[in-house]
Amino acid sequence: MFDFIWNLGSFIVALGVLITVHEYGHFWVARRCGVKVERFSIGFGKALWRRVGKDGTEYVVAAIPLGGYVKMLDERVEDVPDELKHQAFNRKTVWQRIAIVAAGPIANFIFAFFALYLKFLIGVPSLIPVIDSTQAGSPAAIIKVDGLQRVMAVSGKPVKTWSDVNLAIVGHIGDDSIDFTVGPVDADSTTIGRQYQLDISQWKFDPDKQSPISALGLGIFRPQIEPIIANVAKDSAAELAGLQVGDEIVSINAQPYTSWSSFVTQVQQAIDQKVVMKINRQGQQLLLDVYPQTKQDASGQLVAMIGISPTAGQWPQAMQFDMQYDLFESIPAAFNSTWDITTLTLKMIGKLFTGDVSVKSLSGPISIAQGAGASATIGLAFFLGFVALISVNLGIINLMPLPVLDGGHLMYYFIEVISGRPVPEKVQEVGFKVGAVLLLMLMSVSLFNDFSRL
């Protein structure tokens, strides 16, 4: 229940900020162009708060936080007194109308830059991308891993973190190949690494079950897991059997403990079976009978679980760093990050239409809420990065040439620029209806994907 409330609260905060930014873009430019704004609303439905400003605009916060709008004086919508007609939206030049409509999405891009600027000022604890193996039969199997290897670049672009690697791989979904440059862990910009071209023409992966990194076959280096219990879940099989935090696992079913992965495999296979664990507790060895509980994993398979987690080893200092910049260095870092997110989003939309990316990858409000809650839990810098990502996506989606979106209005206005006369009202009305149906279909697919992931 707490997770639900936290995710919902984080979602409302994130969406509220992004909607306010978007609508304020329209509002600010409309006022500069001499248009009278009658209402500035964040949300739809019943007003929870309202106030009329000195400028005559009614400011509203409504009950349904899934959008917002700026209502401008417009003769196409209502009768306008003669003395106010010069303030009507429809009386403005086509370039002024273009500026007003485009200001919303542009505000989203500006806000994304600002959020990322703050993120880099605050700093993000990061790990350099180091691999210790590759999976046989995978696209990455051609990479020769001699000890630990650092991923230096993907398709010629330098990468500093696993997040950079992940975004670079995602951008190549549907391509025939992807280039990797790897080198020693202490590699820097002057190091010449080994280059490999991975064949991904037949590569497929399910984003709901695995990350692009693991699906490609890259074995991420992780510190050795210690066989010391760090957490015992409440009401779990482990708690019922008497296992405690700090217990050291010695053996399971008389087989000596060798690694955490093999231990997990043994437990998961013990469906409807007892497992006997030998543990070391403060120098005393004990034998405990544990009766695993059966649950479904992410793929729907039944597995046995006992409800414990181990103690993670320490990351080497050489692999850790803070991605933090000063007041001036954060400017190009934020610009480059905003540009990377924008180009990646455009690539994914293009590949969605070509079929290289499945519609199953579309996410709706539930997935966004989960992402908002998860990033907010980690820290402010991560939440700012997540909000920037959604802000860029919101800006791009609104620029799509669907008549019900800002991009559709812009399409009509540019036709007016070229033809010298407005698009007929009847044509616009038909376009709005078609756009509404297409947008509803898109939202339905996104919601279906969300519910299927629950």
Active site positions, annotated: 23
Torsion sign over Cα 404, 405, 409, 414: negative
Distances (CA, A) of 207 to 111, 213, 343, 395: 28, 11, 20, 24
Q: C-alpha angle 97/98/99, rounded to 5°?
A: 90
What distance lies between CA 257 and its chain's CA centroid? 38
Q: Are 232 and 308 in contact (CB under 8 A)?
A: yes
* The one-letter amino acid at 280: N
Please enumerate in sequence order all residues whose Cβ is within 8 A of that of 428, keeping only pairs 6 or more positions apart, or say none. 403, 412
- E strands in 306-355: 308-311, 320-323
Query: How many CA atoms are closer than 13 Å to the CA of 169, on its beta-carbon side?
Result: 25
Please enumerate in sequence order all residues whose Cβ is within 8 A of that of 52, keeping only pairs 6 or more positions apart, or say none. 58, 59
Distance CA 393, CA 387 (A): 10
For residue 308, list its beta bridge partners: 232
Distance CA 433, CA 414 (A): 20
DSSP structure string for 245-278: TTPEEEEETTEEP--HHHHHHHHHT-TT--EEEE
Please enumerate in sequence order all residues whose Cβ is within 8 A of that of 281, keeping only pairs 6 or more positions apart, or say none. 244, 246, 247, 248
Q: Are 152 and 334 in contact (CB under 8 A)?
A: no
Count other Cβ atoms within 10 Å, centred on residue 166.
16
